[in-house]
Amino acid sequence: MSAVTQDTAVSTGRVARAFIYLLLILFALFYLLPLYVMGVNSLKPLQEITGGNMMALPATWTLEPWRAAWSSAQIGVQPTGLKPYFINSILMVVPAVAISTVLGALNGYILTKWRFRGDTIVYGLMLFSCFIPFQIVLIPMAVVLGKLGLAGTVPGLILVHVVYGLGFTTLYFRNYYAAFPTELVRAAMMDGAGFFRIFWRILLPVSGPIAVVSIIWQFTNIWNDFLFGVSFGGTSQPMTAALNNLVQSSTGVKEYNVHFAAAILAALPTLVVYVVAGRYFVRGLMAGSVKG
Amino acid sequence: MGFLDIRNVTKSYGSVQVLHDVDISVAEGEFLVLVGPSGCGKSTLLNMIAGLESVTSGEIAIRGRVVNGVHPSKRNIAMVFQSYALYPNMTVAQNITFGLEMHGTPRAERERALADVAKLLQIDHLLDRKPAQLSGGQRQRVAMGRALVRDPDVFLFDEPLSNLDAKLRVDMRTEIKKLHQKLGTTIVYVTHDQIEAMTLSTRIAVMYRGHVQQLGTPREIYDTPANVFVATFMGSPAMNILPARVALRDGVPHARITDAEGAERLLRFSQPNLAGWDGRDILLGIRPEAITDPEGADRKSGNIQGLANRVSVTEPAGSDTFVTMVLSGRDVIARMRADASVGPGQDFDFAVNMDKAVAFDPQSEERIAP
Ligand SMILES: Nc1ncnc2c1ncn2[C@@H]1O[C@H](COP(=O)(O)OP(=O)(O)O)[C@@H](O)[C@H]1O
Ligand SMILES: [Mg+2]
């Protein structure tokens, strides 16, 4: 009797499971479809796209659109390809992510372990900054950058992104360090370690998971940012602004294959960051809530 | 002047005063235990000695040097925390020598100090492990090693055994006591466990609501508690406190109480200074072990009084049997030998050792005799 019910249970389980997998595969295919379209079309000559089926594999495979997107496509008035803008983006994103993450960690450390009068208000205000839309700060930011002589430069963009990201990185590290035992900091204090030594030797070594969260978050946001880039980039426009220029250009023939290649190039770094560090991302997000 | 002086120290958080005028002088080599219920300000006082909390008013001096405002690392003290506070990313060896490293001790000297401490605490084989790979007792040892290695003037312990299971707690307690006897260092030790306080200390400060209720040797605290709080907090089961009235018989003070039936009984006091309380109400304090079966009574006592009374409950506890009865309307616990033959509902002849009786003023609850 019990064997029969068990058997039924197992087979029902199998059917349900097969159904679930089928559904998952369908969703995955649906989700991957745009990537497939971009991929195949970036490897075709242009006339195959204009004359034929978008979904078909290339009849003649070519890397020419990729080469063009990278080094010779017309961006604005110059036939430079995306390369210089890609470099701009890298020059902007690496320092901006590093600085905002380090400062966020320091803020979190101070707000939890070196509490001072009004620290909750300071934290509240920083948290508030997470909810301010980009558009609101455009004009004040432009004024500040102009006064600092940083308008239209990579350092200017770095400053903008550091300021804008600080609220988020502070939030991450503060919540992470709030769960870190204060007795450890006190013990280190009694052992004779100073402010930075405690940070460097005691807190930072256990901050890996939350640092990954902060880096991924900041990297994707800064890399993908368009508004600050076009507004304050000046002659040092980032990748996103260049991609827009390329795709939106109204002169000449629309080279869809080149556009596809360029779009993939623009998305590649964030993709790499996720693939490399993605699994730490979830772990880090969980770490604050569930203390191990 | 002592080795560690706490002079009229108070502590307030905003308008809330959590410590009131604490005045304790600790001699070199003493083992002072601060004991009291949770929230009475023990940790606050310890943290003030450590320099982790500021002193609102008063002075703390170590070896005659006032240390108010001196950074914790410059007071030459070491602390063992309740959670052990071992650095999770460092090995045991690194944990122990971190303080020396911060103080710029040369490597060779650090290694030597580490080896000494590891041997003393028998943790040689654990030196390369991370704290997460240690058991509770081992973590406790490492935490002590970290304190010992710096050879401080004063050791501070904040409830170091409270995270251990009961058996290990007793073992580590003995070990701490041995260590103190061997090294003769000055220790201030915080606990809420009165047994730990009694067994470890050379002196105890019983604290309650930010006040030091009594400061004295374990014997003094136990035998002559300053007030009802100390009397009931120290000792397990707690001291019996029952209302009584002082009555003079031939000029000798007696305690007039009622038994389970409500009949009046007289117990002669050993303390003549109660004569002035004739006819007045007091609170009579008698420890459970001072009420026994006649065979178990203390032979050295000069004042054993017989007291027949109805037994309400018996609780055999292996080494002793605890007997509950009613006196003056209160449940009173007596401590008998394990094999005393006594059962509930029975009328039993108890022997009360009135040499150990304590009397308190019912209003102020302060001790009035002995
Ligand atoms: N930072 C603080 N701010 C306000 N009150 C505090 C603070 N730290 C401790 N207290 C209060 O001081 C009292 C004593 O605390 P503590 O010394 O930790 O007690 P315990 O005897 O349990 O160690 C408690 O009532 C506690 O609520
Ligand atoms: Mg405490």
Q: Which domains does chain B carry?
A: 4-233 (3.40.50.300), 240-360 (2.40.50.140)
Q: By three-state DSSP, how is residue A255 classified?
A: coil
Share of chain A above pLDDT 70, in %: 92
Provide the pLDDT for residue A7. 56
Pick from B72, B82, B87: which is nearest to A190 by CB?
A: B72
Please name which of B179, B191, B240, B184 lies closest in space to residue B218, comparing C-alpha atoms.
Answer: B191
Q: At what angle do helices B136-148 and B166-183 cross, to 10 degrees?
A: 20
Question: Which residues of B fall within a CB distance of 8 Å from A188?
Answer: 87, 98
CB contact at 8 A, A193 and A265: no
Question: What pairs with residue B24 in β-bridges?
Answer: B6
Question: Which residues of B fall within a CB distance of 8 Å from A202?
Answer: 87, 89
Share of chain B above pLDDT 70, in %: 100
Within B177-263, strands assigned E span: 186-191, 203-208, 211-216, 240-249, 252-258
Q: What is the pLDDT of residues B211-224, one digit of tens each?
A: 999 999 999 999 99
Share of chain A above pLDDT 90, in %: 43
Question: Which residues of B fall within a CB distance of 8 Å from A187?
Answer: 79, 81, 85, 87, 146
Average pLDDT of span A72-101: 89
Pick from A181, A192, A202: which is nearest to B99 by CB?
A: A192
d(CA A246, CA A252): 11
Judged by phi (left if over 0) then psi (alpha if -120 to 50, else beta), residue B256 lies in beta
B18 lines ligand 1 (CB under 6 A): yes
Token pair belonging to A79: 């036939």
d(CA B28, CA A269): 65
Provide the pLDDT for residue A5. 52
Asked if the Cβ–Cβ distance from A183 to B72 is below 8 Å, we say: no
Q: Is the pLDDT of residue B163 over 90?
A: no
A interface with B, Cβ–Cβ below 8 Å: 181, 183-184, 186-193, 197, 201-202, 205-206
Q: Which domains does chain A carry?
A: 2-70 (no CATH), 75-287 (1.10.3720.10)
Kindly report the protein residue whose alpha carbon is nearest to atom 18 of ligand 1.
B43
Query: Residue A132: pLDDT band by 50, 70, 90 thresholds?
Result: confident
Token pair belonging to A153: 């430069």
Kindly report the protein residue whose alpha carbon is nearest to atom 20 of ligand 1.
B39
Token pair belonging to B298: 């203390």
Going A76 to A82 to A83 to A88, the CA torsion angle's sign is positive
Q: What is the pLDDT of residues A48-61, one digit of tens each?
A: 888 877 888 888 88
Q: Which of B71, B81, B139 to mutate to test the interface with A (most CBs of A within 10 A)?
A: B81
B284 lines ligand 1 (CB under 6 A): no
What number of CA atoms fall less than 13 Å from residue B279's CA on the CB side?
Answer: 0
Nearest ligand for residue B83 CA: 2
Q: What is the pLDDT of residues B242-257, one digit of tens each?
A: 999 999 988 889 999 9
Query: For residue A193, what is the nearest residue in chain B, using CA coordinates?
Result: B102
Residues 6+ positions from A21 with CB-CB distance below 8 Å: none
Judged by phi (left if over 0) then psi (alpha if -120 to 50, else beta), residue B157 lies in beta
Question: Which residues of A fall within a CB distance of 8 Å from B51?
Answer: 190
DSSP B73-116: GGS-EEEE-TT----TTS-HHHHHHHHHHHTT--HHHHHHHHHH
Around Cβ B85, how many Cβ atoms within 10 Å? Answer: 26
d(CA A153, CA A160): 11
Asked if the Cβ–Cβ distance from B87 to A202 is below 8 Å, we say: yes
CA–CA distances in Å: residue A175 to residues A105, A112, A210: 10, 8, 10
Around Cβ B47, how many Cβ atoms within 10 Å? Answer: 19
Q: Is the pLDDT of residue A290 over 70?
A: no
Q: What is the pLDDT of residues B251-294, one digit of tens each?
A: 889 999 998 888 999 999 988 888 888 899 999 999 999 999 98
Nearest ligand for residue B12 CA: 1
Asked if the Cβ–Cβ distance from B73 to A190 is below 8 Å, we say: yes
Around Cβ B203, how many Cβ atoms within 10 Å? Answer: 18
Q: Which of B75, B87, B190 to mutate to test the interface with A (most CBs of A within 10 A)?
A: B87
Q: What is the pLDDT of residues A183-231, one digit of tens each?
A: 999 999 999 999 999 999 999 998 988 999 899 999 999 999 989 888 8
Q: Which helix (H) or strand (E) holds B321?
A: strand B320-327
Please name which of B99, B98, B95 lies closest in space to residue B86, comparing C-alpha atoms.
Answer: B95
B210 lines ligand 1 (CB under 6 A): no
B15 lines ligand 1 (CB under 6 A): no
Kindly report the protein residue whose alpha carbon is nearest to atom 6 of ligand 1.
B13
CB contact at 8 A, B358 and B226: no
d(CA A56, CA A52): 8
Q: By three-state DSSP, how is residue B208 classified?
A: strand
Asked if the Cβ–Cβ distance from B73 to A192 is below 8 Å, we say: yes
Going A86 to A88 to A91 to A93, the CA torsion angle's sign is negative
What single-letter amino acid sits at B23?
D
Provide the pLDDT for residue B295. 86
Provide the pLDDT for residue B343. 87
Please name which of B110, B163, B113 lies closest in space to residue B134, comparing C-alpha atoms.
Answer: B163
Q: What is the pLDDT of residues A173-192, one digit of tens each?
A: 999 999 899 999 999 999 99
Gap from B185 CA to chain A (nearest CA, Å): 18
d(CA B252, CA B271): 9
The residue whose CB lies within 8 Å of the most ligand 1 atoms, and thus the one to mutate among B18, B81, B207, is B18
Around Cβ A237, how many Cβ atoms within 10 Å? Answer: 23
Asked if the Cβ–Cβ distance from B79 to A202 is below 8 Å, we say: no
Around Cβ B76, how many Cβ atoms within 10 Å? Answer: 15
Provide the pLDDT for residue A2. 46
Pick from A190, A193, A205: which is nearest to B50 by CB?
A: A190
Weakest-pLDDT range from A71-85, A131-145, B63-77, B167-181: A71-85
* Contacts A–B by Cβ distance under 8 A: 55
Token pair belonging to B292: 């026994």
B363 lines ligand 1 (CB under 6 A): no
Q: What is the pLDDT of residues B8-32, one digit of tens each?
A: 999 999 999 999 999 999 999 999 9
What single-letter amino acid sits at B291?
I
Provide the pLDDT for residue B30. 95
Please name which of A125, A129, A160, A135 lies closest in space to residue A146, comparing C-alpha atoms.
Answer: A160
CB contact at 8 A, B62 and B74: no
Q: What is the dihedral of CA B10, B13, B18, B23, to 10 degrees?
A: -10
Provide the pLDDT for residue A129. 87
Q: Which of B46, B75, B94, B102 to mutate to test the interface with A (most CBs of A within 10 A)?
A: B102
- Tokens 């602390």 belong to B79
Query: For residue A205, what is the nearest residue in chain B, using CA coordinates?
Result: B89
Nearest ligand for residue B18 CA: 1
Provide the pairing of β-strand B203-208 with B31-35. Answer: parallel
Q: Which helix (H) or strand (E) holds A173?
A: helix A154-178
Does B370 sit behind a cis peptide bond, omega within 30 degrees of 0 on the bond before it? yes
